[in-house]
Structure 1
Amino acid sequence: MGFELNRFQGDVDEELICPICSGVLEEPLQAPVCEHAFCKTCISEWISRQPTCPVDRQNVTSAQLRQVPRILRNLLARLQIQCDNVQYGCTRVLKLDTLATHLEECDHNPKRPLPCEQGCGLIIPKDELTDHNCVKELRALIQTQQQEFNELRFFIAEQRREMQLLKDFMRAMKTSNPSMRAIADAMERDEVVRWSSSLQRARVTRWGGMISTPDDVLQRMIKRTLTEMGCPIHILNDLMENCHECKWPPGLCSLETRQNNRRQYENYVCKRVPGKQAVLVLHCDNTHMGEDMMVEPGLVMIFAHGIE
């Protein structure tokens, strides 16, 4: 619907009037052949009932509507209009093209979002502040978030179940059909490569801070984070087993060998484990490393400090 004529100062050219609602054009569109202009809402509703131009009845569809010429848009933009909130006390008269920006900041806008003055931290429309109940609103917010959390948890559980079914299927196929083994292995490798490409690089500044025998609590924490990162299920347990020095390759399996091979550490391509002093060193990223410094599907290295 267009803007009401009585809101404008001075005369408004007839070319700027919508033939359907008789208001000043709002978000104008025009027919492709006859070039008659209409409000976007007006012409869209009209065409949904009958695909013709309301003025001369030429055939027209929604897909054929196009933007009006710039000169027409400029004429509309220069019109002087009263603020929508004149009934609430606003006396501003401004150019039409600045109306939307003004309405967001207008002190008289009853729907202007304001912070609750009682301290709950919620942003409330101005006309609802008087009846606002912090306890009621916060309770409703918590219930909504709890519902969303439950839905997300159910979705994640379903995704894990489907992934496990797929994993079991692929394992069964590899066992029963040798020709499928290579295909399944390739699919699993591709999944790891795609996951790795989504991770951020990390830099280890203090290799001496490496924890070679992380305790169970620390391992569970890292495993939970890897799960949240979308780590492919078929490598998750293997990665976690490889966070302990007993599963490390020969070049890392003892303090002495780690000290002797320290210069080689800088050649590792490490991926970040968000929020943790740990990195992923995946085999697919480190094919340049020798067998004495790398294992399949990769290593999880946990540090006391020194990760950037």
Structure 2
Amino acid sequence: MGYEVNRFQGDVDEELICPICSGVLEDPLQAPVCEHAFCRVCIQEWISRQPTCPVDRQSITFTQLRPVPRILRNLLARMCISCDNFVYGCPMILKLDALASHLEECEHNPKRPLPCEQGCGLVIPKDELQEHNCVRELRTLMQSQQQKMADFQRELTEQRFIIKEQKRELKLLKDFMRAMRLSNPTMRAIADQMERDETIRWIGSLTRARVTRWGGMISTPDEILQTMIKRSLLESGCPSHIINELMGNCHESRWPPGLNSLETRQNNRRQYENYICKRVPGKQAVLVFPCDNTHMPEEMMIEPGLVMIFAHGIE
């Protein structure tokens, strides 16, 4: 909708009047052929009812409208208008292009947000300050937050139930596939391929890691440390069919010949520095998979992969 004509100083040229609302053009758009200009809101509403120009009835759609020429925009910008809040006592007369910035800070704006100075600190519209009650507003705010928390908890419970059901269904499917694999060679091949695909997808989801201090390697991690790493792997989506075997490979007793003693590790230092490693999420530990390390010799790799834990030095 346009600006009221009586808010402007001096006469207003007819070319600056919207034919629909009879106000001074606000955010104007122009018809492509006849070049009649209208307030954006006015012409949008008009075209939604009948796709014609309100002046000469030529066919028109909203996508055909375009901004008015710069000279017309400049004429509008230089016009002097009273503040929207003149009825509330604002005496300001300013150019139209400065109106928006003035309204944001106008002291006479009844809806200007102000902080409560009675103690609650809430920001409320100026015209509501007189009726404002800190205790009531804080109680309302608390109730609103409690309701949001209750809704969140309910949604979280529902999501947990859904995840639990999905895990149960997945376990049933895996048990079924395992049983079929034992009894049917064809199903055995299909199940094996599904597990390989699942493993490859999980490996692809892990972040590349760089070991900066190979001397920080813990070759004989204790049970507590192994449990922490295993939990992180499960949380990252590690397939259940490889988790135990993979974790078994975190101790040097299960490492391949090129790593399973301090002496061999020292001799092969230059080789294992070429490992392509994946990060165990959130831990100072890496995973080394054969599919990522086809360039490495056989004595440096093991299926389904290596778990290497460090005291420090993982980026």
Aligned to 1:244: 250
Q: Which amino acid aligns with 1:158?
A: I
Q: Which amino acid aligns with 1:204?
A: V
Q: Which amino acid aligns with 1:241?
A: M
Pick closer, same or farther for the CA change 1:217–1:92 going to 2, 3 Å: farther
Q: Which amino acid aligns with 1:21?
A: C
| Secondary structure, aligned partner of 1:38 | strand
| Secondary structure, aligned partner of 1:147 | helix
Aligned to 2:61: 61
1:307 matches 2:314: yes
Aligned to 1:72: 72
Count of matched residue pairs: 302
Q: Which amino acid aligns with 2:198?
A: E
Give the Cα–Cα distance (whole angstroms) in 1 for the partners of residues 306 and 18 of structure 2. Answer: 68
C-alpha displacement of 1:56: 1.9
Assess if the C-alpha contact under 8 Å between 1:243 and 1:302 holds in 2: no
Give the Cα–Cα distance (whole angstroms) in 1 for the partners of residues 287 and 158 of structure 2. Answer: 28
Aligned to 1:223: 231
C-alpha displacement of 1:262: 3.7
C-alpha displacement of 1:273: 5.6
Give the Cα–Cα distance (whole angstroms) in 2 for the partners of residues 239 and 145 of structure 1. Answer: 42
TM-score by length of 1: 0.69
Give the Cα–Cα distance (whole angstroms) in 2 for the partners of residues 10 and 302 of structure 1. Answer: 81
Aligned to 1:188: 198
Assess if the C-alpha contact under 8 Å between 1:279 and 1:300 holds in 2: yes
Assess if the C-alpha contact under 8 Å between 1:17 and 1:23 holds in 2: yes
Q: Which amino acid aligns with 1:154?
A: E
Q: Which of 144, 149, 153 is residue 140 of structure 1 equivalent to? A: 144
Pick closer, same or farther for the CA change 1:248–1:179 going to 2, 3 Å: closer
C-alpha displacement of 1:146: 4.8
Aligned to 1:20: 20
Assess if the C-alpha contact under 8 Å between 2:242 and 2:304 holds in 1: no
Aligned to 1:205: 212
| Secondary structure, aligned partner of 1:29 | strand
Give the Cα–Cα distance (whole angstroms) in 1 for the partners of residues 225 and 142 of structure 2. Answer: 34
Q: Which amino acid aligns with 1:195?
A: S
Task: State the Cα deviation string for residues 108-128 of structure 1 (Å, max 9, x = none).
Answer: 5555556676888x8734446
Query: Which runs of no fewer than 5 residues in structure 2 stay unpaired?
Result: none
Pick closer, same or farther for the CA change 1:234–1:221 going to 2, 3 Å: closer
Assess if the C-alpha contact under 8 Å between 2:232 and 2:280 holds in 1: no
C-alpha displacement of 1:51: 2.2
C-alpha displacement of 1:148: 3.3
| Secondary structure, aligned partner of 1:267 | coil
**Matches for 1:63-212 after TM superposition, within 5 Å:** 63-87=63-87, 90-106=90-106, 109=109, 111=111, 124-127=123-126, 130-132=132-134, 133-134=137-138, 136-148=140-152, 150-151=154-155, 154-155=158-159, 158=162, 161-162=165-166, 165=169, 172=177, 175=181, 177=187, 180=190, 184=194, 187-188=197-198, 191-192=201-202, 195-196=205-206, 199=207, 201-212=208-219
Give the Cα–Cα distance (whole angstroms) in 1 for the partners of residues 69 and 224 of structure 2. Answer: 69
**Matches for 1:37-48 after TM superposition, within 5 Å:** 37-48=37-48
C-alpha displacement of 1:264: 3.9
| Secondary structure, aligned partner of 1:19 | coil
Query: Which runs of no fewer than 5 residues in structure 1 stay unpaired?
Result: none
Q: Which amino acid aligns with 1:46?
A: W
| Secondary structure, aligned partner of 2:48 | helix
Give the Cα–Cα distance (whole angstroms) in 2 for the partners of residues 67 and 290 of structure 1. Answer: 69
Pick closer, same or farther for the CA change 1:54–1:135 going to 2, 3 Å: same
Assess if the C-alpha contact under 8 Å between 2:229 and 2:280 holds in 1: no
RMSD of equivalent CA atoms: 4.5
Decide which structure has the larger Cα Rg and report it.
Answer: 2
| Secondary structure, aligned partner of 1:191 | helix
Q: Which amino acid aligns with 1:304?
A: A
Give the Cα–Cα distance (whole angstroms) in 2 for the partners of residues 225 and 87 of structure 1. Answer: 67
C-alpha displacement of 1:93: 4.6
Give the Cα–Cα distance (whole angstroms) in 2 for the partners of residues 75 and 29 of structure 1. Answer: 15
C-alpha displacement of 1:158: 3.4
